[in-house]
Amino acid sequence: MLRKMYDWCIGAAGKPHATWALGTVSFAESSFFPIPPDTMLIPMALARPDKAYYYALVCTVTSVLGGILGYAIGAFLYDSVGLWLISLYGYGDKVEAFREAYAKWGSLIILIKGVTPIPYKIVTITSGFAGYNFFLFVLFSVITRGARFFLSAYLLQRYGPVAREHIEKRLGFWFTIFLVVLIAGIVVALYIM
């Protein structure tokens, strides 16, 4: 199954709908969807290293737009949709502590959490809920999400052929590493936030 999904992403990289799918996943991940866009960005950039920066730009723009939706959920719909999404991810009892931290460390929280495997939707919804400065939220989101996706694009473009060969030989191993990092990020967010 993993091989089929990877092969689909590699095969779809050159098709017109691939960029739309990547943008949709990136947008949704910043506001409500649990799967990060890296699951598509990495195989697509490996298949088309010449478009790695373009894919990073798509991820950055759509992630920030999705973050604005997450901010709006937190600002205007927190009591209904926002609280439900936060609780769904197991953060319901941590929101007040996170809100207090925002008053003191909001900029640093956005900058750090935007590049980590901690779900970014938690940052976006809580930013809106905490009433964090919208302009700064967007600015820091562009910086942090752009840094994350463009660093990936740089590495994938530069080391793509070697990385692709290595990843394809040991796909299960690298997928397991990816899942461990993702789960570790969620655990850190649950117990350290």
Average pLDDT, the chain: 79
pLDDT at 129: 82
pLDDT at 32: 78
Q: Which two tokens stand for residue 28?
A: 């949704």
pLDDT at 189: 55
Domain residue spans of the chain: 2-192
Q: Note whether 186 and 117 are within 8 A (CB).
A: yes
- How large is the average pLDDT for residues 48-71? 94
Length of the chain: 193
Per-residue pLDDT of 168-178, as tens digits, reads: 676 666 667 66
* C-alpha span between 173 and 112 (Å, rounded): 27
pLDDT at 58: 96
The pTM of the full predicted model, rounded to 2 decimals, is: 0.75
* C-alpha span between 4 and 111 (Å, rounded): 35
If you count DSSP H runs as helices and E runs as strands, how many of each does the chain have, helices first?
Answer: 9, 0
Per-residue pLDDT of 35-55, as tens digits, reads: 788 878 888 888 888 889 999
* C-alpha span between 173 and 168 (Å, rounded): 10
Name residues whose C-beta falls within 8 Å of residue 14's C-beta, 6 or more positions apart in sequence.
47, 48
What is the band of 103 on the pLDDT scale with cuts at 50, 70, 90? confident
Q: Is the pLDDT of residue 184 over 70?
A: no
